[in-house]
Amino acid sequence: DVKVTQSSRYLVKRTGEKVFLECVQDMDHENMFWYRQDPGLGLRLIYFSYDVKMKEKGDIPEGYSVSREKKERFSLILESASTNQTSMYLCASRRDPPGEQFFGPGTRLTVL
């Protein structure tokens, strides 16, 4: 079974702090994704990566950056957290399109 793990289930940070969210997959998948999920809005794509050291902006990249130095790991970085970044963050991976995306359990981030 594919396993996608995220570094934290719950995280509380203060405005202006730098925040790292890490995601690791164990199935040698090429593609990895970061989404945020807010009530009534569904999942929105922040960034994705189709290979090591490659990254592409999604629909809402502002205020975020990413890093993919190794195939199994995809990190989401909030350089200076703001209250409007309070959300559920979901990481996903897939082998290649149009394959199924496998999701991690999510990180609920609260920015105070």
Partner 1 sequence: KNQVEQSPQSLIILEGKNCTLQCNYTVSPFSNLRWYKQDTGRGPVSLTIMTFSENTKSNGRYTATLDADTKQSSLHITASQLSDSASYICVVSAVTSYDKVIFGPGTSLSVIP
Contacts of 98 (CB under 8 A, 6+ apart): none
- Are residues 111 and 15 in contact, defined by beta-carbon separation less than 8 angstroms? yes
d(CA 83, CA 27): 34
> Considering the rule CB under 8 A, would residue 1 count as an interface residue with partner 1?
no
> Under the criterion CB under 8 A, does residue 106 sit at the interface with partner 1?
yes
Which residues between 25 and 64 bind partner 1 (CB under 8 A)? 35, 40-45, 50, 56
Which span sits near partner 1 by CB under 8 A: 14-22, 64-72, 73-81, 94-102?
94-102
Q: Which residue has the tokens 């396993």?
A: 3
* Chain-centre distance for alpha carbon 72: 13
Q: Indicate whether 100 belongs to the interface with partner 1 (CB under 8 A).
A: yes
- Point out which residues bind partner 1 (CB under 8 A): 4, 9, 35, 40-45, 50, 56, 90, 92, 97-98, 100-101, 103-106
